[in-house]
């Protein structure tokens, strides 16, 4: 029986000087909480959102017909569409007739359950260039709904500049972070199959997800093309975790794809059950939800951070709390906003921003190119249970691995994909026709369809940047972010290549292609924001050191995706947590030695 997360008491002691105040409770904040409390430090976690029990609200196994709107949000809610991101004036939700406007992800099926986890664009506007910014303001942040593809980076990423001359190398190499990836794998559980690829290092895997017939066929075909198809590396415990009583193992209930992420038995990692609740049990953690931090305060004599100022997200009352160290984990863009908001006579450009690099070198993944098709041998075959698994498959990058490559663009991309019978088979979207004939065809094709979609590295360029908008404020009166961010020529060329190689792989496997696209989706679609406070050895061109400590302010850290030097092709969350673990170990050591 799973133990419920207890409601927290917001009446926390704000007269104490905590060893650490952590801002944000998602992947990064949760990991900081886990590591620092394990070291015996007294930690206060401040989270802007409220606590919501996803065991109760996600209803992962509810059938669509048991919901009054088949899982859709009420009519007075609206999820922004792809087109709206392009043509609407910013802020996107201004003058909207809907009561609540959310990001595009709430447009997927079954999102009524997660509608309270994500932000309302009316309360949380943005300005500037188009950007589909997906945010979850809740204890656990975006980990309550994430897609769980849990991948490692390699020296192809950390030392990418050495290979192609673009951008900067990271100040660490794979050997520095490998032990921490291992710790994350073992503490949280990751399912996968070892492939021994230098550009996608293997983890300490639990039982892999099962590949379908067509996926095994594609895997075999790709072996002949020097490419790999591997079972989805899911941040899901498939074997169970003896040390965590708040999470169940995955029973392969096949509900992963039904709603926007979210697993109500927490087999899929989420920060509240994977990290925060166990940290409570140490007795070293205090958590205050509904706490919107708007400034990091500074001692003007020492230049050190003294604490944070925050307002209660519901009552709007102002508070201040003191701490020996401040850990920002509000997510890449929110942390940048907070740094820029923290202006003082000591730090007129924002705390720790003497380099002027905060907000810059912002990067992510470009998405859009995709191929859908079917395996002719499987048409009309009896139905099989293929969706009893937390993911399909992953095709790691294969371009530009050789330094002499002539692809015409820099860096790489990977494909995520899936196939087989599901409650809503992919075939229903791609089968042409109407009525009886359409239904018959959709059923015949149900287990035969297969699709892939690419995620590619967006180059970290100085000019891609966020800053504070001088005029527009959010519902709490805090200046919002203005985006100045665009895909460039490299991303356009990469997308053309994604579409070409996607088709090439399907053709090689003798799959019939139903549709394919080379169109890129709006900036932000990948929900993988990185950069904005990159790490490095040189304080003139980077914001933090390799332990995510500000060059200018040693008792201030930022432990989310902000510090990533480049985006790589791999999803970021596992790397965020491994880096955070490493930095918090280092911080605890420094605190013990009195070096901070
Ligand atoms: C639908 C979806 C699918 C995804 N799929 C994948 C995937 O397959 N693989 C992968 O690697 N990643 C995936 N991601 C991305 C992943 O969720 C993020 O990389 C990860 O959650 C980032 O962790 P974080 O702690 O930096 O930010 P978050 O998880 O967003 O947490 C930040 C927290 O900080 C809080 N906060 C913000 N501002 C303040 C403030 N001023 N004061 C106090 N608190 C504040 C927020 O409320 C939030 O709870 C997906 C995300 C979504 C939404
Ligand atoms: S398939 Fe596994 S991870 Fe997905 S919802 Fe079911 S139990 Fe959770």
Query: What are 101-134's pLDDT values in tens digits?
Result: 999 999 887 689 999 999 999 999 999 999 999 9
Residue 162 has pLDDT above 90, yes or no: yes
Whose CA is closest to atom 4 on ligand 2? 256
CATH number at residue 136: 3.50.50.60
Mean of the per-residue pLDDT values of the chain: 94
**Host H or E run for residue 503:** helix 489-508
Q: For residue 533, which ligand has an atom nearest its CA?
A: 1
Q: What share of the chain has pLDDT > 70, as a percent?
A: 97
Q: How confident is the model at residue 483 (pLDDT cuts 50, 70, 90)?
A: very high
249 lines ligand 2 (CB under 6 A): no
Task: Report yes or no on 452 lying in a domain.
Answer: yes
The predicted pLDDT at position 9 comes to 52
In-domain check, residue 479: yes
- Whole-number pLDDT of residue 376: 96
Using the atom order of ligand 1, give the atom closest to the CA of residue 338: 41
Half-sphere exposure of 55 (CA within 13 A, CB side): 14
What mean pLDDT do residues 336-358 have? 98
Ligand 1 centroid vs 329 CA: distance in angstroms? Answer: 9
Give residue 38's domain range. 17-593
Tell me the per-residue pLDDT of 186-238, one tens digit each, with 9 for 90 and over: 999 999 999 999 999 999 999 999 999 999 999 999 999 999 999 999 999 99
Q: Which of 240, 247, 263, 386 has the most ligand 2 atoms within 8 A of CB, as the residue to mutate?
A: 263
Checking if the pLDDT of 405 tops 90, the result is no
Q: For residue 3, is it within any domain?
A: no
Does the CB atom of residue 209 touch ligand 2 within 6 A? Answer: no
478/337 Cα distance (integer angstroms): 10
Q: Ligand 2: which atom is nearest the Cα of residue 248?
A: 7
Residue 263 forms part of a structural domain? yes
pLDDT reported for residue 230:
98
pTM (global) more than 0.85: yes
Q: What is the pLDDT of residue 385?
A: 87
> Apex CA 416: angle with CA 405 and CA 85, to 5°?
95
Question: Closest ligand to 391 CA?
Answer: 2
Q: Give the Cα separation of 185 and 302 in Å (integer).
A: 39
| Assigned domain for 1 exists | no
User: Looking at the domain assignment, is residue 394 inside a domain?
Assistant: yes
Residue 152's pLDDT band (boundaries 50, 70, 90)? very high
* Position in ligand 2 atom list of the atom nearest CA 389: 1
pLDDT, tens digit, for every residue of 305-319? 999 999 999 999 999
- pLDDT of 8 strictly over 60: no
- What is the Å distance from ligand 2's center to 488 Cα? 37
Is the CB of residue 268 below 6 angstroms from any atom belonging to ligand 2?
A: yes
Distance CA 427, CA 439 (A): 10
pLDDT of 529 higher than 70: yes
Q: With contact defined as beta carbons under 8 Å apart, do 119 and 137 qualify?
A: yes
Mean pLDDT of 81-92: 94
Q: Which has the closest alpha carbon to 350: 342, 361, 362? A: 342
Q: How many domains does the chain have?
A: 1
**2 falls within a domain:** no
> Ligand 1: does its nearest atom lie under 6 Å from the Cβ of 136?
yes
What's the CA gap between 579 and 561, in Å, rounded?
Answer: 9
Q: pLDDT tens-digit profile of 31-51?
A: 999 999 999 999 999 999 999
7 located within any domain:
no
pLDDT the model gives residue 553: 98
402: left (phi over 0), alpha (psi -120 to 50) or beta: beta
């Amino acid at each position: 029986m799973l133990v419920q997360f207890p409601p927290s008491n917001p009446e926390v002691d704000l007269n104490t000087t905590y060893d650490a105040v952590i801002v944000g409770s998602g992947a990064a904040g949760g990991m900081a909480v886990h590591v620092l409390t394990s070291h015996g430090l007294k930690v206060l976690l401040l989270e802007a959102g409220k606590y919501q029990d996803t065991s109760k609200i996600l209803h992962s196994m509810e059938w669509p017909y048991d919901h009054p709107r088949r899982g859709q949000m009420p009519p007075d809610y609206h999820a922004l569409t792809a087109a709206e991101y392009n043509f609407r004036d910013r802020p996107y939700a201004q003058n909207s007739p809907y009561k609540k406007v959310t990001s595009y992800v709430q447009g997927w099926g079954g999102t009524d359950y997660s509608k309270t986890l994500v932000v309302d664009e009316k309360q949380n506007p943005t300005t500037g260039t188009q950007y589909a910014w997906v945010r979850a303001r809740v204890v656990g942040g975006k980990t309550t709904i994430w897609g769980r593809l849990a991948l490692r980076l390699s020296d192809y990423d950390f030392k990418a500049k050495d290979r192609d001359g673009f951008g900067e190398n990271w100040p660490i190499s794979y050997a520095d972070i490998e032990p921490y990836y291992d710790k994350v794998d073992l503490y949280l559980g990751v399912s996968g199959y070892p492939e021994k690829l230098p550009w996608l290092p293997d983890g300490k895997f639990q039982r892999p997800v099962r590949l379908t017939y067509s996926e095994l066929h594609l895997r075999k075909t790709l072996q002949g093309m020097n490419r790999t198809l591997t079972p989805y590396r899911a941040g899901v415990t498939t074997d169970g975790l003896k040390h965590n009583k708040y999470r169940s193992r995955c029973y392969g209930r096949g509900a992963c794809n039904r709603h926007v992420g979210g697993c109500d038995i927490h087999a899929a990692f989420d920060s509240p059950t994977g990290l925060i609740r166990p940290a409570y049990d140490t007795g070293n953690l205090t958590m205050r939800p509904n706490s919107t931090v708007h400034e990091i305060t500074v001692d003007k004599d020492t230049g050190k951070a003294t604490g944070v100022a925050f307002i209660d997200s519901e009552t709007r009352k102002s508070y201040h709390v003191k701490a020996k160290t401040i850990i920002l984990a509000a997510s890449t863009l929110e942390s940048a906003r907070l740094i820029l908001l923290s202006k003082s006579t000591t730090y007129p450009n924002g705390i720790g921003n003497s380099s002027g690099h905060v907000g810059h070198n912002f990067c992510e993944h470009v998405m859009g190119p995709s191929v859908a098709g079917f395996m002719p041998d499987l048409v009309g075959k009896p139905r099989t249970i293929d969706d009893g698994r937390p993911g399909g498959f992953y095709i790691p990058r294969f371009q530009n691995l050789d330094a002499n490559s002539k692809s015409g663009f820099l860096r790489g991309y990977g494909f995520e994909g899936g196939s087989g019978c599901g409650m809503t088979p992919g075939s229903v979207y791609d089968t042409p026709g109407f009525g009886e004939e359409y239904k018959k065809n959709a059923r015949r094709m149900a287990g035969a369809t297969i699709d892939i979609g690419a995620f590619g590295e967006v180059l970290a360029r100085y000019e891609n940047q966020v800053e504070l908008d001088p005029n527009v404020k959010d519902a709490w009166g805090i200046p919002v972010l203005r985006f100045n961010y665009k895909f460039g020529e490299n991303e356009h060329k990469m997308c053309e290549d994604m579409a070409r190689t996607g088709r090439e792989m399907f053709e090689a496997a003798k799959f019939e292609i139903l549709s394919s696209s080379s169109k890129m989706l709006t900036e932000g679609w990948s929900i993988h924001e990185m950069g904005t406070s990159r790490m490095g050895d040189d304080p003139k061109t980077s914001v933090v050191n390799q332990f995510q400590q500000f060059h200018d302010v040693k008792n201030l850290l930022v432990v989310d995706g902000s510090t990533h030097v480049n985006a790589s092709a791999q999803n970021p969350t596992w790397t965020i947590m491994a880096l955070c673990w490493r930095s918090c170990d280092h911080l605890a050591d420094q605190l013990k030695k009195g070096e901070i």
